[in-house]
Each structure stands twice: as C-alpha cells, then as structure tokens.
Amino acid sequence: MWQHNRQTDTNINGILAEHQLDLWAQEDQAPAQDLSQITEIIVRGEAWNNIQILLPLLAQLSHDQRWLAWVAPPKLLPKAELKAAGFDLNKIILLKPDAQHDTMSLAHRALKSGTCHAVISWFGALADDQLNELAQAAELGNSRAFLIRHQ
C-alpha cells in the first residue's frame, strides 16, 4: 500500500510537471517584442548635471557615417563643450518638436529613416506600445534609440 501511494504521488507530480512544461511552451510561442535596439537612461536630479557623465559615450555615437539625432533636449549645450567632449559637430542633427511634430513622431521618423545610426530622445515615461513602436522603427532603420528620462 505504501508503494501504491508513492506511485500515485509520482504520477500526480509528473502530470503537474508536464502541465507546467506545457505552460512554458505556450509562453515561448508568444512573440516577444525585441527591445534590443533601445537603451533607456534614467537620470535623477538636474538633468544636465547628470548628462555630463554620459558625454563621452554620446560623443562616440557622433563618429559614424550616419547622423546622430538629438530629439527635444531640455536645453542645448554650448558647441565648445560638445567639441571638448569629443563630438563631431558635423554629424549631429537637432530635431525640435513643434505644432505638427511631437517628440514621439520625430524620434520615430528619425529612427525609421535609416539616415541616423542613433537617436537620443528626451521623454517622460513611455507606454509599452510606444516603446514597441520605437523598437520597430529602429529595426527598420537599422538604428539605435537612446531614451533619456528624468526622475
């Protein structure tokens, strides 16, 4: 009788394990949005004080054959400061939102166009569908999106 109970426990565990594996298989079948083209940078406090740390990294992005687009920065850094940080000022394009184009649409178009290898945008929080749109645009344009958020 003890063996019978043990065999029942094993069968139950086996059924549960098989059911769990089925659930995992179903999860793997759902297409996940590839967000590998997006890098989010979250800064705290005064935005431009913290951005100074990122200038060498961002400067490297300006040394590609395609444009480096800045979309809606909260303020502009002096050209002398950008040059001192190593930026190629001839490869930077500044996109400012206006009545017809918001930050999202400008970033989307710059990513999708294929003329920018990287697009740096300043956003607040973005919804998942907005992140997915930017990821798809970046993939189409073979670009990278850098999203800078302030907290």
Q: What percent of the chain has pLDDT over 70?
A: 74
User: Which tens digit of pLDDT belongs to each residue from 100-123?
Assistant: 999 999 999 999 999 999 999 988
Find the radius of gyration of the CA atoms of the chain.
Answer: 24
C-alpha distances in angstroms, 46 versus 38, 43, 51?
23, 8, 9
- Pick from 50-64, 89-103, 121-135: least confident: 50-64
Let me know: does 43 contact 150? Beta carbons within 8 Å: yes
Cα–Cα distance for residue pair 25/28, rounded to 1 Å: 5
Q: Which amino acid is at 10?
A: T
- Write out the DSSP string of the chain: -HHHHHHHHHHHHHHHHHHHHHHHHHHHHSPPP--TTEEEEEE-SSHHHHHHHHHHHHHHHTSSSSEEEEES-SSPPPHHHHHHTT--GGGEEEE---SS--HHHHHHHHHHHSSEEEEEEEES---HHHHHHHHHHHHHHT-EEEEEEE-
Domain ranges of the chain: 1-30, 33-150
* Whole-number average pLDDT of the chain: 80
- Pick from 30-39, 74-83, 109-118: least confident: 30-39
Domain 33-150 has CATH 3.40.50.300: yes
Q: Which amino acid is at 132?
A: N
pLDDT at residue number 1: 47
Whether pLDDT at 90 is above 50:
yes
Whether pLDDT at 144 is above 70:
yes
Whether pLDDT at 39 is above 80:
yes
